A and B are shown apart, each in its own frame.
Chain A
Amino acid sequence: MGKMPVWADVLLVPLISLALAAFFSALVILGIGENPVEAFQLMVDGALKRSAGWGYTLYYTTNYIFTGLAVAVAFHARLFNIGGEGQAMIGGVGVALVCLYIPWPHWSLAIVGASIGAALFGAAWAFIPAYLQAKRGSHVVITTIMFNYIAFSVLGYLLVEVLRPTGSMDPASATFPDAVHLPNFHEMFAPEGSRMFRGAPANVTFFVALAACVVVWLLIWRTKLGYDIRSFGKSETAAKYAGISPLRITVIAMLISGALAGMMSVNTTLGESERLILNSTEGAGFVGIAVALMGRNHPIGILMAALLFGFLNQGGAELALWTSIPRELIVVIQALVILFTGALDNMVRMPLERLFLALNKKETT
């Protein structure tokens, strides 16, 4: 059967899907009586024209790289990890415990410790759904959804009853000590006295996220484990025949996925709020699904998609600030991207495949 060329699969299909999503988003903006072109310009101004805007865009990008990679690793094993939200929340608990109870002398050590804590806690939260999927056949999608809600309750309980400092009314942990403060972009890149990146939350964790992209790429395409994960995802029976244990791969892929989702909280909890709060994930776990779908489960694609969604999120915040368009517009755009790149993928793909098939036939005759 004639297939599409690779460039069409990795570039053309996502771009057409994105264009469709953009078209419908524009219709939505028109529908609520605003001008889509002006709205887009405002978003670009707010997210990309000023360094502080970039500082926010890259902060959100960092979150989405982690959750996007998390969803992608699971996708490679044909597992749909919808629980990034819960894993990130529990990862935050790991970060808070590490930062509150271990006296770190310097942030460079603290970020390592916090990353390990976040990854361990996130992975642990993914373990039960993974084990139940592999051992008892309980659908990982349903269990991870349930675990999102359980995570929210656990976090609520911990913040109200355990981690909340005495006398405080906020459901939040104590503020982390000054020694673990991560350098943000303003402290790292702004020349003396400059206002560059001032007040923006982007911090050194961004580079951890970039490193995670490289590590995931190495893992999936350059190691035996990655090969096992991909072959398991392509065909479970073939993988079994080749001596790959489904139990082992399912659990390992989900553990890695959970660890990556958990590490998002290094950025939010240690990098930004510097204490554990109730709603630090802000739906990033779900955005990760859109990011992985857009990025075709490849780290480079995920990096670009994460940038796009980081820009959308920051641009949307600016829109809400300057116009009467609520922030939820971004949720609509994210939903449309998931719809067109994920669920309606065949709608774009099937006519294109037919087109390329016809073109190929013409060439051969």
Chain B
Amino acid sequence: MDFLTLLQVLDSSVRLAIPLLLACLAGLYSERAGIFDIGLEGKMLAAAFAAAAFAAITGNVWIGLLAGIGASLILSAIHGIASITFRGNQLISGVAINMLAAGMTVLIAQDWFKQGGRTPSLMGEGRLNPITLPFADMFESIPYFGPTYEELISGHSALVYVAVALVPLTWWVLFRTRFGLRLRAVGENPASVDTAGISVVRLRFTAVAICGILCGVAGAYLATGLQAGFIKDMTAGRGFIALAALIFAKWRPWYALYACLLFGLLQALAVRFQSIEVAGVVIPVQFMEALPFILTVVILAGFVGRAIPPRAGGEPYVKER
């Protein structure tokens, strides 16, 4: 593999990692607050559709982004009402949300655009266009650094830089602010938070809403940045890969970035090379596709550093027993 191919693979790894990263951070907020969310996939899908649909209608990708966030927030509200207000099973609610999104997106897409459950292809201002960072052409002549800067660091859409910036921001919010302390506490021991006079319900709803916003951005990036429009089931398990990355990262922001980059790289390799030969053994493409899930099971099994979820995760909080 020559240097340019390597750069291209890394570049597409970053692109593929961004939706994973956004969804992974979304899940991080929710699960740290004690609300399991296996509906990341559905929220991304709904957001991808809403973003593509509104971008196609208005021709403005930023209106699309807002619509995507709105669609994702509606599903978040359902999840919140089911799992916080009515203390229902968070996992079942997640399954319902995934199916709801899978069905509704195609239904509405068919009703609005009549193109077999897809949106029209986005063009021009309807898409997230790449930004060229300053000095990209100045550095061009420098060997190795120049092309790296131009291919890998510059030339992504704005949301890519936003997503990467969200990693330190999330770390700071969670571990250096009062809100973050309370958020983590409500996921570990909600009763203590309640005793301190802070509303468990409000904190958890806030976390679920943040999760919705981030999933919305993830879906919008998928449909308007990574691809040009919505197609049926376009998330293709990314919500679950993000969930896997979250477990892989043991619910920590920086590790979430590394896990998502790793899974992005695996996807990029699977896309670029149908099968890879390592030391005379051919690795089938299906193995590359399954690798994120296999790695997560290994991590979950606790053979390589055990992943322990927030203690109160998945349990509805009952004020008085």
Chain A positions within 8 Å of B, measured between CB atoms, are 28, 31-33, 80, 82, 128, 132, 136-139, 141-143, 145-147, 149-150, 152-154, 156-157, 160-161, 286, 289, 293, 324-326, 328-336, 338-339, 342-347, 350
Q: Which of A137, A157, A161, A344 contacts B86 (CB 8 A)?
A: A344
CA distance A331 to B88 in the complex (A): 21
Restricting to B211-261, which residues have a CB under 8 Å from any CB of A?
237, 240, 243-244, 247
Known: A128-B297, A335-B96, A344-B86. A328 touches B102 (CB 8 A): yes
Q: Which of A31, A33, A149 contacts B290 (CB 8 A)?
A: A149
- Cβ contact within 8 Å between A147 and B297: yes
B245 CB to nearest chain A CB (Å): 12
Point out the residues of chain A lying under 8 angstroms from B103, CB to CB.
Answer: 328-335
Q: Which of A145, A330, A334, A345 contacts B38 (CB 8 A)?
A: A145
What are 26 inter-chain pairs, A to B, with CB distance below 8 A? Answer: A31-B111, A132-B300, A132-B301, A136-B301, A137-B302, A139-B300, A139-B309, A142-B247, A143-B297, A143-B300, A147-B297, A149-B293, A150-B294, A154-B290, A157-B286, A157-B287, A289-B92, A328-B102, A328-B117, A329-B107, A332-B99, A335-B100, A338-B95, A342-B95, A343-B86, A344-B81
- Cβ contact within 8 Å between A138 and B302: yes
- Cβ contact within 8 Å between B286 and A156: yes
A16 CB to nearest chain B CB (Å): 14
Point out the residues of chain A lying under 8 angstroms from B302, CB to CB.
Answer: 136-138
A80 CB to nearest chain B CB (Å): 6
A97 CB to nearest chain B CB (Å): 18
Point out the residues of chain A lying under 8 angstroms from B307, CB to CB.
Answer: 138
B262 at the interface (CB under 8 A from A): no
B207 CB to nearest chain A CB (Å): 18
Restricting to B294-321, which residues have a CB under 8 Å from any CB of A?
294, 296-297, 300-302, 306-307, 309
Point out the residues of chain B lying under 8 angstroms from A142, CB to CB.
Answer: 38, 243, 247, 296, 300
- Cβ contact within 8 Å between B300 and A343: no
Point out the residues of chain B lying under 8 angstroms from A336, CB to CB.
Answer: 96, 100
- Cβ contact within 8 Å between B88 and A32: no
B130 at the interface (CB under 8 A from A): no
- Cβ contact within 8 Å between A32 and B111: yes
B257 CB to nearest chain A CB (Å): 21
- Cβ contact within 8 Å between B237 and A342: no
- Cβ contact within 8 Å between A286 and B99: yes
- Cβ contact within 8 Å between B297 and A146: yes
Point out the residues of chain B lying under 8 angstroms from A334, CB to CB.
Answer: 99, 103
B201 at the interface (CB under 8 A from A): no
Q: Which residue of B lies closest to A158 (CB)?
A: B286
CA distance A335 to B309 in the complex (A): 27
Point out the residues of chain A lying under 8 angstroms from B243, CB to CB.
Answer: 142, 145
Q: Which residue of A lies closest to B293 (CB)?
A: A146
Q: Which residue of B lies closest to A157 (CB)?
A: B286
- Which 7 interchain pairs have the tightest Cβ spacing? A331-B103, A343-B93, A335-B99, A332-B103, A153-B290, A342-B92, A138-B300
Q: Which of A160, A326, A333 contacts B110 (CB 8 A)?
A: A326
B91 at the interface (CB under 8 A from A): yes
- Cβ contact within 8 Å between B82 and A82: no
Q: Mark B86-122, 1 if CB is under 8 A from A, else 0.
A: 1111111101111110111011101100100100000
Q: Which of B86, B95, B99, B106 contacts A347 (CB 8 A)?
A: B86
Q: Which of B102, B286, B294 contacts A331 (CB 8 A)?
A: B102
Point out the residues of chain A lying under 8 angstroms from B97, CB to CB.
Answer: 335, 339
B78 at the interface (CB under 8 A from A): yes
- Cβ contact within 8 Å between A339 and B82: yes
Q: Which of A132, A141, A342, A350 contacts B93 (CB 8 A)?
A: A342
Known: A136-B301, A161-B284, A339-B82. A149 touches B100 (CB 8 A): no
CA distance A80 to B36 in the complex (A): 14
A138 CB to nearest chain B CB (Å): 4
Q: Which of A147, A156, A332 contacts B104 (CB 8 A)?
A: A332
Q: Which residue of B lies closest to A340 (CB)?
A: B96
Point out the residues of chain A lying under 8 angstroms from B95, CB to CB.
Answer: 82, 286, 289, 338, 342
A5 CB to nearest chain B CB (Å): 22
- Cβ contact within 8 Å between A339 and B96: yes
B188 at the interface (CB under 8 A from A): no
B296 CB to nearest chain A CB (Å): 5
Point out the residues of chain B lying under 8 angstroms from A33, CB to CB.
Answer: 111
Q: Which residue of B lies closest to A334 (CB)?
A: B99
Known: A143-B297, A154-B286, A156-B286. A343 touches B240 (CB 8 A): no
- Cβ contact within 8 Å between B284 and A157: yes
Q: Which residue of A lies closest to B82 (CB)?
A: A343
- Cβ contact within 8 Å between A343 and B117: no
B151 at the interface (CB under 8 A from A): no
A130 CB to nearest chain B CB (Å): 12
CA distance A31 to B111 in the complex (A): 9
Point out the residues of chain A lying under 8 angstroms from B294, CB to CB.
Answer: 146, 150
Known: A153-B286, A326-B117, A347-B86. A338 touches B99 (CB 8 A): yes
A209 CB to nearest chain B CB (Å): 23
Q: Which residue of B lies closest to A34 (CB)?
A: B111
Q: Which residue of A lies closest to B110 (CB)?
A: A326
Known: A339-B82, A339-B100. A28 touches B107 (CB 8 A): yes
For the complex with contacts A82-B95, A339-B78, 12 further pairs of A-B residues with Cβ separation under 8 Å are A28-B107, A32-B107, A80-B92, A153-B287, A157-B284, A157-B287, A328-B103, A339-B93, A339-B96, A339-B97, A342-B96, A343-B96
B72 at the interface (CB under 8 A from A): no
Q: Which residue of A lies closest to B90 (CB)?
A: A343
B267 at the interface (CB under 8 A from A): no
B75 CB to nearest chain A CB (Å): 11
Point out the residues of chain A lying under 8 angstroms from B86, CB to CB.
Answer: 343-347, 350
A152 CB to nearest chain B CB (Å): 8
Restricting to B106-164, which residues have a CB under 8 Å from any CB of A?
106-108, 110-111, 114, 117
